[in-house]
Amino acid sequence: MKDNDQLSGLFWLAVSVFICIKSIDLKIGSFHSPGPGFLPFWSAFILGALAIVLVVKRIVSKRKGAEITTSLWKGMKFSKVIWISISFFAYALVLTKLGYLLATFGLLTFLFGIIQRTRIWVKVLTAIVTVVASYLIFYVWLEVQLPKGIFVF
Amino acid sequence: MDLLHSLYYGFSVGFEPANIFACFVGVLMGTLVGVLPGIGPVGAISILLPSTFRMNPVSAVIMLAGIYYGAMYGGSTTSILVNIPGEAASVVTCLDGYQMAREGRAGPALGIAAFGSFIAGTAGLIGLMLFALPLAKVALDFGPPEYFAFILFGLTLVGYLARGSTIKAFMMGALGLILSCIGLDWVDATPRFNFNIVELMDGIDMVPLAMGLFGISEILLNVEQTTSPEILKTKIKNLLPNVSDWMESIWAIIRGSVLGFFLGILPGGGGIIASFLSYSLEKKVSKNPNKFGKGAIQGVAGPESANNSATAGAFVPFLTLGIPPNIVMALLFGALLIHGIRPGPLFIREHPDLFWGLISSMYIGNLMLLVLNLPLIPVWVKILKIPYKILFPLILLFCIIGAYSLNNRIFDLVLMFIFGIFGYLSRKFDYEPAPLILAFVLGPIFELNLRHSLLLSKGSFSIFFTRPISAIAIILAIILFATSFVPFFTKRKEEFKSATLDEGP
């Protein structure tokens, strides 16, 4: 777990450098008259400084003695996370085109397929019931505006 | 007498049908999320926040507050029966509560947790009424330096008291401040970090950020798990504690109530710290400290009382200073802002219906919770058995509809998914998202007061040290920040955490 501190520390250091540069473009101003880049610059500075401390701590502890490190995803079903994340963005892409009913039905059927091993008709039926129930509660009863897409309702 | 009149007025607001209903829905939802591991009050409030937009502000806050203190009640059920905390403030209850359940005493454990929560919740409300008004009067004299200093102290304390690495918590706080800068500059409307994306001109909305960080990330963390928790098969009987249980627990409840209330006021405090410290205190004052970790009823009564009275304490700085001391209050702060209401020193005067209505609803809510949590325990046990594969689509749909309905924009949905993945990765790499969202919510006030103070002092930082309240807050913040890097203090903090958590057999 601690090995990942080095990786994440370097990532945040890069982010902080980027934000500092962008903040300078925005004009940091002075202590007398702080500009729009004042807070982001100093916040990014602190972020970067702490990232350096994190990385250095890790290097020092590595030199003191070997630590047993384990993968963050050992024994986990990481592939499910990847597929689900991809499905989220695909859903966002098609939501306004297909509409809430169709897009959400597709998303839930896919997710049920990922999460549980059951017969296809069970997944489809569960997805239909869930989508219709949510549509009735939110669109019909609570009058929340949901994208219609190819449907007129 | 004024207090009584105000309370009477509050009950007249609290007993309005819409508010009673909102209170009931809130405490029911709160108990449900407390019972179910995998989603806590922060996630639940984030997800249900958009549904409050159509309500009037009083009902909205009553419902959201109900979720908060309801979750404290519900969390003990899973801790005692499954040895998995339903929410973070019930971690310590696992230590002795589960052991009591293994000895066939799940009933008294659940009973004393419920009664202790009720007594402490009621005591906390009395404290809220007594402290809020004087503090609001004092806060009228606060200027930009005081507000800046308090927020800085609060953010530092939240980072210092984070469960994981303090350095990482501070980094998340800094990131939260940066994210709060996205959009137009508050002073001269210069676009900041919007990368020519029109939707970012108004900044990032709190709802997709919170729902992504706590709702979507929770889904991702749960789906990658390969095992499900087992519920202890035990008969739950004798929910009413006997005389001996009461004799052993009453002082733990009283101490927990007082400790929890004052810790709830502190930024970064809240139910989690209160429950840990209450457990440590009970163990220290107990005549039989060896019994702790093996089924000591004080180990359930004290922490459960502390985490409930802390919820009332948290409302003190939130409503009187306009400074949310923890993440839940930060979300409530955002909810009030959406309704056009800003908590602060003038809040009680300008919105007495909201303040007193909220207090009275918390009395009513505490009573509802006692009724819900005792007789309905078999129902909660059945709910615990619902597989996650059935629950997660409901959570996901709430998140999707909540994020989309905010502005009817796909952009908010995409933002929520991005923050969901970010929240998932943050937790995998041990970065707590809570300091980020607190800093994000407080960022605008923080920046405004900082820049205002520097303008007043013509760039001199001495303005923060020449005013006593601001000076004390800033010095404390500096001490906390500095001691985070001193090995002596970090070791003691880790030792305290492990000593409290590893007490089990």
Q: Do A82 and A137 have their domain in common?
A: yes
| Residue B31 confidence (pLDDT) above 60 | yes
Q: Is the separation of the CB atoms in B229 and B436 below 8 Å?
A: no
A87-134 pLDDT, tens digit each: 999 999 999 899 999 999 999 998 888 877 778 888 888 889 889 988
Please report whether residue A30 resides in a domain: yes
Please report whether residue A72 resides in a domain: no
Please report whether residue B231 resides in a domain: no
* Residue A145 with chain B: CB contacts under 8 Å: 405, 408
The fraction of chain A above a pLDDT of 70, given in percent, is 89
* Residue B389 with chain A: CB contacts under 8 Å: 112, 115-116
Token pair, residue A48, equals 């970067």
Q: Do A97 and A56 have their domain in common?
A: no
In this prediction the pTM is 0.80
Please report whether residue A7 resides in a domain: yes
Give residue B168's pLDDT.
Answer: 92
| Residue B424 confidence (pLDDT) above 80 | yes
Pick the residue of B152, B390, B396 with the most A CBs within 10 A to test the interface with A by mutation. B396
Give residue B55's pLDDT.
Answer: 84
Please report whether residue A149 resides in a domain: no
Residue B74, class by beta-carbon neighbours within 10 Å (0-12 exposed, 13-18 middle, 19+ buried)? buried
Q: Do A87 and A119 have their domain in common?
A: yes
Give residue A1's pLDDT.
Answer: 46
Give residue B488's pLDDT band: very low, low, confident or very high (50, 70, 90). Answer: low
| Residue A143 confidence (pLDDT) above 50 | yes
Rounded distance between C-alpha atoms, residue B117 and residue B111, angstroms: 10
Number of domains in chain A: 2
Domain enclosing residue B341, as ranges: 2-225+240-501
| Per-position b or e across B338-371, b if 16+ CB within 10 A of its CB | bbebebbbebbeebebbbbbbbbbbbbbbebbbe
Q: Do A88 and A54 have their domain in common?
A: no
Give residue B501's pLDDT.
Answer: 47
Domain enclosing residue A133, as ranges: 78-141
Please report whether residue B235 resides in a domain: no
Please report whether residue B465 resides in a domain: yes
Rounded distance between C-alpha atoms, residue B99 and residue B108, angstroms: 12
In terms of phi and psi (left: phi > 0; alpha: psi -120 to 50; beta: otherwise), the region of B203 is left
> Is B459 close to A4, i.e. CB distance below 8 A?
no
| Residue B119 confidence (pLDDT) above 80 | yes
Give residue B182's pLDDT.
Answer: 94
Please report whether residue A91 resides in a domain: yes
Please report whether residue A146 resides in a domain: no
* Residue A24 with chain B: CB contacts under 8 Å: none
More confident residue, A52 or B107: A52
Number of domains in chain B: 1
Give residue A89's pLDDT.
Answer: 93
Q: B232 CB near a chain A CB, below 8 Å?
A: no
**H or E element in which residue B447 lies:** helix B434-456
Please report whether residue B491 resides in a domain: yes
Contacts of B243 (CB under 8 A, 6+ apart): none
Domain end: A64, A90, A108, which one? A64
Q: Do A89 and A128 have their domain in common?
A: yes
| Residue B3 confidence (pLDDT) above 70 | yes
| Beta-bridge partners for A29 | A34
Please report whether residue A73 resides in a domain: no
Rounded distance between C-alpha atoms, residue B36 and residue B249, angstroms: 26
Please report whether residue A147 resides in a domain: no
- Which range among A32-36, A122-126, B84-88, B124-128 shows the weakest confidence by mean pLDDT? B84-88
Give residue B202's pLDDT.
Answer: 86
The fraction of chain B above a pLDDT of 70, given in percent, is 90
> Is B226 close to A75, i.e. CB distance below 8 A?
yes
> Is B192 close to A36, i.e. CB distance below 8 A?
yes
Give residue A105's pLDDT.
Answer: 93
Domain end: A64, A92, A108, which one? A64
Question: Smallest Cβ distance to A40: which of B178, B420, B460?
Answer: B178
> Is B405 close to A145, i.e. CB distance below 8 A?
yes
Domain end: A33, A64, A95, which one? A64
Rounded distance between C-alpha atoms, residue B501 and residue A114, angstroms: 35
**For the residues B425-444, what does the mean pLDDT come to?**
87
